[in-house]
Homo-oligomer: A and B are copies of this chain.
Amino acid sequence: MPRSTPGRRPATLASLAAELGVSRTTVSNAYNRPDQLSPELRKRVLDTARVLGYPGPDPVARSLRTRKAGAVGLLLTENLSYAFRDPGAIEFLEGLALACEDAGQGLHLVPASPEREDVASVHRAGVDGFVVYSVPEDDPHLAAVLERPLPTVIADQPRAASVDHVGIDDHAAMQRLARHVIELGHKHVGVLCMRLGRDRNDGFVSLPRQHSARYHVQRARLAGLRDAFEAAGVDWNTVPVVERFDHSLADGARAAGQLLDRDPQVTAILCTSDLLALGALDEAGRRGLRVPQDLTVTGFDGIAEALRTELTTVRQPVLDKGRTAGELLLSTKDPGRPRSVTLDTELITGKTSAGPRGYEEPWFGP
């Protein structure tokens, strides 16, 4: 099979038409609208195409003419490769891929290294629209996306008034989780959270930094905690919050260590993600702290590993989020006011939360 006719320039629709003595339109129709020409001629066109090594209409030229690329762009906050290491991102991708598949659309992952702020990749992407997943408010790639005259859907963060959005009520969900911990009797707690800005700050978080966080999701979750604990009479200023730039088990463990070193008397560690919480569990184990007897640990997200571990956490429908983002994007019919979808969450009380020592419910043993 000739992958390309040697010696000659590659065949085009025009050259094929010339060879056949028909118009370009006819060749085009042979591929795109079989009913517009006689079966015999169509066969002749297709046969000759094979002989000449013409691979069918060029996708890029077609895209230019039809103004359709047949693909959805996806912008992620992190290195592309990182996305494949984060359980949440993977599930989101799965949902989005589902939606794209149903619509026969490709999924174009845009390389957006946070290091070299190379926005060109966004400008160069031949796509019909963008899904933006969880990026900081001041991400230059996001700005580049919004500059392009294409439909866009933002998942999770940031929340922009003029752009379609899908997410959850982070504040309410976290508040509810906090109330659960409060009801168990905890007064002295610590918090582990994900990055609050594009700058690395692996350590304790000041109040101003909490408020000025560039990641609305983290900001809302912290605010949910704050509101719940303040309502319960706990001074939020006294609650230690440890931030981690990278999102991994190991970082969760290290952050928990940092917290426990400085504040050994905390009876509960609330984490803004399951991965951090699972890391905290590891660290607790290393320190001989029993969970939940000695220490309560909670997460957020409801990733598979967390559910298996029976972590107390908030489950959010990440796959649905991805699919909804895709459906929203693909159903965009020109202007219309921006839409916003808020998905439901569910508090999961697992086996990593209990009352602090001295607060157990009475036990009527033998």
A residues contacting B by CB (< 8 A) are: 1, 3-4, 10, 53, 55-64, 69-71, 79-81, 83-85, 90-91, 93-95, 97-98, 100-101, 104-111, 113, 118, 120-121, 123-126, 146-149, 162
Contacts and interface: CB of A to CB of B under 8 A. Distances in A.
A101 B111 contact: yes
Contacts of A125: 59, 70-71, 106
B106 A110 contact: yes
Given A64-B61, A147-B55, A101 B126 contact: no
A69 B60 contact: yes
A101 B124 contact: no
B120 A104 contact: yes
Copies per assembly? 2
Given A79-B101, A106-B125, A107-B109, 14 more contacts: A71-B108, A79-B97, A81-B94, A81-B97, A81-B98, A84-B94, A85-B94, A90-B90, A100-B109, A101-B111, A104-B118, A104-B121, A106-B111, A108-B108
A55 B148 contact: yes
Nearest to A3: B149
A254 B277 CA distance: 33
Given A64-B64, A101-B81, A111-B101, A121 B106 contact: yes
Contact of A60 (B97, B101, B111, B126): B126
A106 B109 CA distance: 6
Nearest to A305: B305
Nearest to A119: B56
Given A62-B124, A109-B109, A121-B106, A93 B101 contact: no
A182 to B, nearest CB: 35
B80 A107 contact: yes
B120 A101 contact: no
Contacts of A108: 71, 106-109
A352 B345 CA distance: 39
A83 B148 CA distance: 30
A307 to B, nearest CB: 14
Contacts of A90: 84, 90
A105 B81 CA distance: 13
Nearest to A120: B104
A63 to B, nearest CB: 5
A97 to B, nearest CB: 4
B56 A123 contact: yes
Contacts of A104: 111, 118, 120-121
A321 to B, nearest CB: 14
